[in-house]
Amino acid sequence: MKHAFAVTAVAAAAFALAFLILPVLALFLRVPPGDLIRALGTPAAQDALVVSIKTSAIAHAAVLLIGTPAAYAIGRGRFRGRALLLSLIELPLVLPPAVAGIALLVTFGRLGLLGGTLNALGIRIGFTQAAVILAVAFVESPLYLRAAIASFEGVDGTLLDAARTLRARPFRVFARVALPLAAGGLGAASALALARGLGEFGATLLFAGSLQGVTQTLPLAVYAQFEVNLDTALAIGAEFVFFGAALLLALKVIPGWTRSISLWTFRSASSPST
């Protein structure tokens, strides 16, 4: 009986692995490497790569700069309505991408909730790169925030109290104690959020459109090239595989980096501030 179960478990694992790996292999086997490299040199692929890197970098930087201190405040705070706030943060995670795009459009679009005010100020967002940045930030923020909150919740409160006892100021406690101790989880959250943002499709399409060189990101370029040039679509898809592999590698490496610096940063923070 035990032997039969072991064989079944191994067979199930092999089936699951094949199911996950074969589509990725097929992506590279469908077109020779030389053709893939040439396809990556096409204007459509290069423009999409530039737009994706630019918009994702700006959106991700904004998410990290705003989301990290916000996650610290929520993660270490205990206040009435906290459960409701966490639910509101997680709400965009369950929205279909098309719904997220429409929601952004009716908020920031020309005739949206804030559109009239923005137009009066000469600010146009819909179907511009600003719309891509907002769409990417909207879909990746909940993922980063929820994981970052959990990371700060896992920080040993006695270490924070010890730093405060030694007269470390609130910002110093955050920057030199809490942040390094939570860095492993924050790094993983950042990588996953970045991957989610790079792969965003529906919200970007509805809110920003698919204008080559302006708002057409890598996922939109794959969709646009699928019926025009399959080789280019496959090449752009291969770029995603490389990005994904790099991010997964980062998830494995980042925690090792942070363990070695956490103790040093805590000791630095423990010294009385001047």
Give the tens place of pLDDT for each residue, 151-207: 999 999 998 988 888 888 999 999 989 999 998 889 889 988 998 999 999 999 999
Locate all alpha helices (DSSP H) within 41-128, ordered by sequence: 43-76, 82-90, 97-108, 115-120
Is 115 a member of any domain? yes
Question: Which residues, other chains included, contact 53 with Cβ-Cβ below 8 Å and sequence gap of 6+?
Answer: none
Confidence of residue 24 (pLDDT cuts 50, 70, 90): confident
Is 23 a member of any domain? yes
Q: Are residues 102 and 4 in the same domain?
A: no
Q: Are residues 155 and 67 in the same domain?
A: yes
Is 35 a member of any domain? no
At 24, which amino acid appears?
V
C-alpha count within 13 angstroms, C-beta hemisphere, residue 174: 13
- The whole domain housing 52 covers 43-270
- 76-87: average pLDDT: 91
- 71-83: average pLDDT: 92
Q: Are residues 109 and 188 in the same domain?
A: yes
pTM (2 d.p.): 0.85
At 252, which amino acid appears?
K
Whether pLDDT at 84 is above 70: yes
Quote the CA–CA distance of 83 and 130 in Å, as a whole number. 32
Whether pLDDT at 108 is above 70: yes
At 144, which amino acid appears?
Y
Residue identified by tokens 């990101």 is: 217
Q: Are residues 132 and 236 in the same domain?
A: yes
3-state secondary structure of 217: coil
CATH code of the domain containing 212 = 1.10.3720.10
Whether pLDDT at 147 is above 70: yes
- 139-150: average pLDDT: 96
Q: Are residues 23 and 141 in the same domain?
A: no
Is 61 a member of any domain? yes
Residue 33, burial from CB neighbour count under 10 angstroms (0-12, 13-18, 19+): exposed
Confidence of residue 29 (pLDDT cuts 50, 70, 90): confident
Q: What is the pLDDT of residue 59?
A: 97
Quote the CA–CA distance of 234 and 197 in Å, as a whole number. 20
Is 204 a member of any domain? yes
Confidence of residue 6 (pLDDT cuts 50, 70, 90): confident
Q: Is the CB of residue 238 less than 8 Å from the CB of residue 27? A: yes
Is 36 a member of any domain? no
